[in-house]
Amino acid sequence: MASTTIEFAVQMTCNSCVDSVKKCITNVEGIEDVQISLDEQRVVIKSNLPTLKLLKILESTGKRVAVKGYAGGQAAVSILQAGNPNVKGVVRFIQPTTGVCIVDGTVDGLNTGHYHAYIYECGDLSNGCENIGQVFNPTKTTDGKIYGDIGTIDSKENNRSQFRFENNQISVTDLIGRAFVVTEESASLEKTKKIACGIIARSAGLFQNPKSICACDGTTIWDEAGKKSAL
Protein backbone atom coordinates (compact mmCIF):
# COMPACT_ATOMS: atom_id res chain seq x y z
CA MET A 1 0.00 0.00 0.00
CA ALA A 2 1.38 3.41 -1.00
CA SER A 3 2.08 5.91 1.76
CA THR A 4 0.52 9.36 1.92
CA THR A 5 1.73 12.52 3.65
CA ILE A 6 -0.98 14.37 5.58
CA GLU A 7 -0.87 17.79 7.23
CA PHE A 8 -2.80 18.15 10.50
CA ALA A 9 -3.51 21.31 12.45
CA VAL A 10 -2.99 20.46 16.13
CA GLN A 11 -3.79 22.98 18.87
CA MET A 12 -0.39 23.05 20.59
CA THR A 13 0.62 25.87 22.92
CA CYS A 14 3.89 24.74 24.54
CA ASN A 15 6.72 22.23 24.38
CA SER A 16 4.78 19.89 26.65
CA CYS A 17 2.12 19.72 23.93
CA VAL A 18 4.81 18.77 21.42
CA ASP A 19 6.10 16.08 23.76
CA SER A 20 2.62 14.57 24.18
CA VAL A 21 2.18 14.46 20.38
CA LYS A 22 5.58 12.78 19.97
CA LYS A 23 4.70 10.23 22.65
CA CYS A 24 1.37 9.24 21.10
CA ILE A 25 2.86 8.55 17.66
CA THR A 26 6.13 6.93 18.71
CA ASN A 27 6.47 3.33 17.53
CA VAL A 28 3.05 3.28 15.86
CA GLU A 29 3.24 0.69 13.09
CA GLY A 30 2.57 2.24 9.69
CA ILE A 31 3.93 5.71 10.52
CA GLU A 32 7.13 6.36 8.56
CA ASP A 33 7.97 10.01 9.29
CA VAL A 34 6.68 12.86 11.47
CA GLN A 35 7.40 16.60 11.41
CA ILE A 36 6.06 18.82 14.21
CA SER A 37 5.99 22.63 14.26
CA LEU A 38 4.87 24.30 17.48
CA ASP A 39 4.90 27.79 15.93
CA GLU A 40 2.67 26.68 13.05
CA GLN A 41 0.61 24.30 15.25
CA ARG A 42 1.24 21.74 12.54
CA VAL A 43 1.97 18.00 12.45
CA VAL A 44 2.87 16.35 9.13
CA ILE A 45 2.74 12.55 9.04
CA LYS A 46 3.84 10.16 6.31
CA SER A 47 2.16 6.76 6.70
CA ASN A 48 0.03 4.06 5.13
CA LEU A 49 -2.67 4.36 7.81
CA PRO A 50 -6.21 5.69 7.25
CA THR A 51 -6.65 9.41 7.88
CA LEU A 52 -9.25 8.83 10.60
CA LYS A 53 -6.92 6.51 12.53
CA LEU A 54 -4.17 9.14 12.51
CA LEU A 55 -6.69 11.79 13.55
CA LYS A 56 -7.83 9.68 16.50
CA ILE A 57 -4.24 8.98 17.57
CA LEU A 58 -3.50 12.72 17.66
CA GLU A 59 -6.79 13.45 19.45
CA SER A 60 -5.79 10.97 22.17
CA THR A 61 -3.49 13.74 23.48
CA GLY A 62 -6.57 15.80 24.37
CA LYS A 63 -5.70 18.40 21.73
CA ARG A 64 -8.04 19.61 19.01
CA VAL A 65 -7.02 18.28 15.60
CA ALA A 66 -8.07 19.03 12.01
CA VAL A 67 -6.97 17.69 8.62
CA LYS A 68 -5.49 20.51 6.54
CA GLY A 69 -4.01 18.97 3.40
CA TYR A 70 -2.31 16.14 1.53
CA ALA A 71 0.94 15.83 -0.37
CA GLY A 72 0.67 15.04 -4.05
CA GLY A 73 -0.61 16.63 -7.22
CA GLN A 74 -4.32 16.48 -6.37
CA ALA A 75 -6.66 15.78 -3.46
CA ALA A 76 -10.44 15.67 -3.10
CA VAL A 77 -13.07 14.88 -0.47
CA SER A 78 -16.66 13.68 -0.42
CA ILE A 79 -18.97 14.13 2.58
CA LEU A 80 -21.95 11.78 2.43
CA GLN A 81 -24.95 14.06 2.80
CA ALA A 82 -27.81 12.53 0.78
CA GLY A 83 -29.70 9.25 0.84
CA ASN A 84 -30.27 7.43 4.13
CA PRO A 85 -30.11 10.16 6.82
CA ASN A 86 -28.64 7.68 9.31
CA VAL A 87 -25.59 7.02 7.14
CA LYS A 88 -22.78 9.57 7.43
CA GLY A 89 -19.21 9.53 6.28
CA VAL A 90 -16.16 11.23 4.83
CA VAL A 91 -14.18 9.84 1.91
CA ARG A 92 -10.86 11.34 0.79
CA PHE A 93 -9.06 10.88 -2.52
CA ILE A 94 -5.30 11.49 -2.60
CA GLN A 95 -3.09 11.29 -5.70
CA PRO A 96 0.44 10.88 -4.27
CA THR A 97 1.89 10.01 -7.69
CA THR A 98 0.68 9.66 -11.26
CA GLY A 99 -1.13 6.37 -11.69
CA VAL A 100 -1.95 5.88 -8.00
CA CYS A 101 -5.03 7.18 -6.19
CA ILE A 102 -5.64 6.42 -2.52
CA VAL A 103 -9.32 6.21 -1.52
CA ASP A 104 -9.48 6.65 2.25
CA GLY A 105 -12.88 6.63 3.95
CA THR A 106 -15.02 6.10 7.02
CA VAL A 107 -18.77 5.49 6.84
CA ASP A 108 -21.01 5.18 9.91
CA GLY A 109 -24.60 3.95 10.20
CA LEU A 110 -24.49 0.94 7.87
CA ASN A 111 -25.92 -2.31 9.18
CA THR A 112 -23.36 -5.08 9.58
CA GLY A 113 -22.60 -6.59 6.18
CA HIS A 114 -21.07 -6.04 2.75
CA TYR A 115 -21.56 -2.94 0.59
CA HIS A 116 -20.05 -1.45 -2.53
CA ALA A 117 -18.45 1.90 -3.38
CA TYR A 118 -18.81 3.61 -6.76
CA ILE A 119 -18.15 6.91 -8.51
CA TYR A 120 -21.28 8.13 -10.32
CA GLU A 121 -21.34 10.59 -13.23
CA CYS A 122 -22.98 13.65 -11.65
CA GLY A 123 -22.93 15.51 -8.36
CA ASP A 124 -26.56 16.66 -8.53
CA LEU A 125 -28.01 15.93 -5.07
CA SER A 126 -31.15 18.03 -5.57
CA ASN A 127 -33.20 14.82 -5.47
CA GLY A 128 -31.10 12.80 -3.07
CA CYS A 129 -29.12 10.13 -4.92
CA GLU A 130 -31.57 9.89 -7.84
CA ASN A 131 -30.14 12.49 -10.27
CA ILE A 132 -26.49 11.41 -10.28
CA GLY A 133 -26.59 9.47 -13.53
CA GLN A 134 -24.84 6.14 -13.99
CA VAL A 135 -21.60 4.67 -12.65
CA PHE A 136 -18.81 6.77 -14.18
CA ASN A 137 -17.34 4.76 -17.05
CA PRO A 138 -15.51 7.07 -19.50
CA THR A 139 -13.62 4.18 -21.07
CA LYS A 140 -16.95 2.39 -21.83
CA THR A 141 -15.59 -0.80 -20.29
CA THR A 142 -17.98 -3.74 -20.60
CA ASP A 143 -15.76 -6.79 -20.10
CA GLY A 144 -13.46 -5.67 -17.30
CA LYS A 145 -13.39 -3.49 -14.18
CA ILE A 146 -15.53 -0.38 -14.68
CA TYR A 147 -13.63 2.88 -14.08
CA GLY A 148 -15.98 4.06 -11.32
CA ASP A 149 -16.11 0.73 -9.49
CA ILE A 150 -14.09 1.40 -6.32
CA GLY A 151 -14.65 -1.87 -4.48
CA THR A 152 -16.37 -3.70 -1.63
CA ILE A 153 -16.59 -2.20 1.84
CA ASP A 154 -17.56 -4.02 5.03
CA SER A 155 -19.51 -2.64 7.97
CA LYS A 156 -18.49 -4.12 11.31
CA GLU A 157 -20.52 -4.78 14.45
CA ASN A 158 -20.16 -1.15 15.54
CA ASN A 159 -21.86 -0.08 12.26
CA ARG A 160 -18.63 1.54 11.10
CA SER A 161 -16.85 0.88 7.83
CA GLN A 162 -13.25 2.01 7.45
CA PHE A 163 -11.46 1.41 4.16
CA ARG A 164 -8.32 2.40 2.30
CA PHE A 165 -7.99 1.36 -1.34
CA GLU A 166 -5.07 1.88 -3.68
CA ASN A 167 -6.58 2.40 -7.14
CA ASN A 168 -4.39 2.44 -10.25
CA GLN A 169 -7.19 3.42 -12.62
CA ILE A 170 -8.96 6.55 -11.37
CA SER A 171 -7.52 10.08 -11.35
CA VAL A 172 -8.57 12.80 -8.89
CA THR A 173 -8.93 15.35 -11.70
CA ASP A 174 -11.60 13.14 -13.31
CA LEU A 175 -13.64 12.91 -10.10
CA ILE A 176 -14.26 16.55 -9.19
CA GLY A 177 -17.98 17.40 -9.34
CA ARG A 178 -19.08 13.78 -9.52
CA ALA A 179 -20.59 11.69 -6.71
CA PHE A 180 -19.22 9.04 -4.38
CA VAL A 181 -21.91 6.45 -3.66
CA VAL A 182 -22.36 3.60 -1.21
CA THR A 183 -24.72 0.90 -2.49
CA GLU A 184 -26.01 -2.46 -1.41
CA GLU A 185 -23.83 -5.34 -2.56
CA SER A 186 -25.47 -6.80 -5.66
CA ALA A 187 -24.52 -9.06 -8.54
CA SER A 188 -26.38 -6.73 -10.90
CA LEU A 189 -25.14 -3.14 -11.22
CA GLU A 190 -28.44 -2.08 -12.81
CA LYS A 191 -30.48 -3.31 -9.83
CA THR A 192 -28.21 -2.20 -7.03
CA LYS A 193 -29.76 0.13 -4.44
CA LYS A 194 -28.06 3.42 -3.57
CA ILE A 195 -27.78 4.02 0.18
CA ALA A 196 -25.84 7.27 0.56
CA CYS A 197 -23.94 9.69 -1.65
CA GLY A 198 -21.93 12.91 -1.62
CA ILE A 199 -20.39 15.35 -4.08
CA ILE A 200 -16.65 14.99 -4.69
CA ALA A 201 -14.99 18.39 -4.20
CA ARG A 202 -11.40 19.52 -4.53
CA SER A 203 -9.48 19.77 -1.25
CA ALA A 204 -6.20 21.34 -0.22
CA GLY A 205 -2.78 19.90 -0.90
CA LEU A 206 0.09 19.98 1.57
CA PHE A 207 0.64 23.51 2.98
CA GLN A 208 -2.02 24.91 0.60
CA ASN A 209 -4.66 25.57 3.26
CA PRO A 210 -3.73 28.63 5.32
CA LYS A 211 -7.27 29.09 6.68
CA SER A 212 -7.63 29.32 10.44
CA ILE A 213 -10.92 31.26 10.52
CA CYS A 214 -13.89 31.46 8.16
CA ALA A 215 -14.60 35.04 7.05
CA CYS A 216 -18.30 34.32 6.47
CA ASP A 217 -19.30 33.30 10.01
CA GLY A 218 -16.18 33.55 12.18
CA THR A 219 -15.95 29.78 12.65
CA THR A 220 -12.43 28.74 13.60
CA ILE A 221 -10.69 25.63 12.35
CA TRP A 222 -10.96 24.28 15.91
CA ASP A 223 -14.75 24.75 15.90
CA GLU A 224 -14.90 22.78 12.64
CA ALA A 225 -12.63 20.11 14.10
CA GLY A 226 -15.06 19.70 16.99
CA LYS A 227 -18.00 19.28 14.62
CA LYS A 228 -16.25 16.62 12.51
CA SER A 229 -14.38 14.66 15.18
CA ALA A 230 -17.19 12.11 15.38
CA LEU A 231 -16.79 11.13 11.73
Predicted confidence (pLDDT) per residue in 90-122, tens digit: 999 988 777 888 898 999 999 998 999 999 999
Domains and CATH numbers, the chain: 4-71+205-228 (3.30.70.100), 74-202 (2.60.40.200)
User: 193: helix, coil or strand?
Assistant: coil
- From the number of C-beta atoms within 10 Å of its C-beta (0-12, 13-18, 19+), residue 172 rates as buried
pLDDT at 219: 34
In the chain, the amino acid numbered 124 is D
DSSP 143: S
pLDDT at 60: 93
Threshold 0.85, pTM exceeds: no
Q: What is the DSSP string of 64-125?
A: -EEEEEESSSEEEEEEE-EESTT-EEEEEEEEEETTEEEEEEEEESPPSEEEEEEEES----
φ/ψ of 102, rounded to 5, equals -95, 125
Contacts of 72 (CB under 8 A, 6+ apart): 4, 5, 94, 95, 96, 97, 205, 206
Contact 135, 118 (CB under 8 A): yes
Tell how far CA 145 is from the center of its chain.
23
Give the helix ranges, DSSP H, for 26-64: 51-59
pLDDT at 183: 93
- From the number of C-beta atoms within 10 Å of its C-beta (0-12, 13-18, 19+), residue 138 rates as exposed
pLDDT at 85: 93
pLDDT tens series, the chain, 231 aa: 678 888 889 999 999 999 999 999 988 998 999 999 999 999 999 988 888 889 899 999 999 998 887 776 678 899 999 999 999 999 999 887 778 888 989 999 999 989 999 999 999 999 999 999 999 988 777 666 788 899 899 998 788 888 988 888 888 899 999 999 999 887 666 678 899 999 999 876 544 454 443 333 333 334 445 544 444
pLDDT at 185: 84
pLDDT at 212: 40
Angle at 92 between CA 86 and CA 93, to 5 degrees: 140
Which is nearest to 151 in space by CA: 196, 107, 181? Answer: 181
pLDDT at 206: 47
